[in-house]
Amino acid sequence: MTARHVLAVGVSHHTARLEMRERIALDDEGARALLRSLVAGDAVAEAFVVSTCNRTEVYAACRDVGAAERAIAEALARRAEIPSLVLRAYCYAHRDELASRHLFNVASGLDSMIVGEAQILGQLRRAGVLAAETGTCGPVVERMLREALGAGRRVRERTAIARASVSVSSAAVELARGALGELAGRRVLVVGAGKSGELTAQALGAHGVDVVVLSRCPQRAARLAGADGAGHGLEELEHELERADAVLTATSAPTHVISRAQLEAALAVRGGRELLVLDLAVPRDVEPSARALPGLVLLDLDDVQARAEANLRARRADAGRARELAADEAARFERWRSSLGAVETVSTLRRRADAIVDGLLAENDPRWEGLTDADRERVAALARAVASRLLDAPTRALKASASDEAALDAARTLFDLDGEPAPASLRAVAG
């Protein structure tokens, strides 16, 4: 049978602090490995995974939601190197309608740390690409993701939820302004030339700061810094830590980029001048123990969340309308998903009837030596018409019971359909 159940399992900033989220976070290769391992088992038929600084979630299509939920939770626990029972304290699982509604809320920016942010759309698109490349994105999750992305765009177009868009980077700039006061003329060091570093540099540039960008690729750092800034390689890090008023770091490095020892050495030559460090990376770029150093103000993504919550309450005023739109879009997908069982059962039933008619015609053909070809065609047409007429009422009843799994299971048992292979056409039903 088609894997028509859907499931969402994961952790997010709602359920887990940064330390736990960074243990479960996946880069592209890690996501591919997780997807391959899940689909290689019997529990999960299709899947994609989205992993950002705020969430790691697996979306799957399956036949048995209980078995699939256990398989995904165990895989995430192995990733975090913790017992699955411990992970359960931070992990959530949504099934069927709740799973699709959750994804549509995520795509609409309603579940983000900063409500309405648009980066999640690109992250979800990337998740779909990775699943397609890995061969784990089948018709059910592909359609769910495609329709969620469309819903996310429409929610932003039709409500005010994103009109005053505030990203993690710009929220970080707000924190810097709160700590330093006027930013114009300040020297701000941006470590990392990825997307977060780029957005941060742009947000800072609007406040008239002197931006210095450091990256493993000096040429990219120089491009991000722009004509008014400066870009260098990471070998300039210790020197720039001594001169900066604030540091914003957002690399994708798997280990710490800025050590406690480096910060301690920089503080020693700053003449008592405080240093603000905003660590926007997952895993964290700055050694956490550096927070205890005198003269250092170290903030991370959890602090950004707290600031965002305080600043964006007014923006949530339109979230109710946005949530209604997302729910309507999710309900449309659910109607399609709920129909899969009926479509498959009806198709299998009619294939069984056609096979019976074909078998009887072939079995009796030698007895009809006196029939002309036209007579044979009329007999075949009559046999098929009788089968179709007999199946008409059961077909209408099955379609009317599309969301009633008990009725569909009863029909499959009554007509002995469970031994039949799934119709090939169902593999393209999402088109």
* Tens of pLDDT, residues 75-107: 999 998 999 899 999 999 999 999 999 999 999
* Tens of pLDDT, residues 388-430: 787 777 777 766 665 556 666 666 666 666 665 544 433 333 3
Which pLDDT band holds residue 237 (cuts at 50, 70, 90)?
very high
Class of domain 168-311: alpha beta
Name the percent of the chain lying above pLDDT 70.
86
What's the pLDDT score for residue 175? 83
* Tens of pLDDT, residues 356-398: 878 888 888 888 877 888 888 888 888 888 877 877 777 777 6
Q: Looking at per-residue confidence, does 282 or 132 come out higher?
A: 132
* Spans of all domains in the chain: 5-164+317-336, 168-311, 342-428
- Would you name the residues annotated as active-site residues? 53
CATH topology of domain 5-164+317-336: Beta Polymerase; domain 2 (3.30.460)
* Tens of pLDDT, residues 128-184: 999 999 999 999 999 999 999 999 999 988 987 876 546 677 777 778 888 888 888
- Nearest Cα neighbor of 108 from 176, 51, 158, 39 is 158
Let me know if the fold of 5-164+317-336 is the same as that of 168-311: no
Evaluate if residue 343 carries a pLDDT over 80: no
Evaluate if residue 71 carries a pLDDT over 90: yes
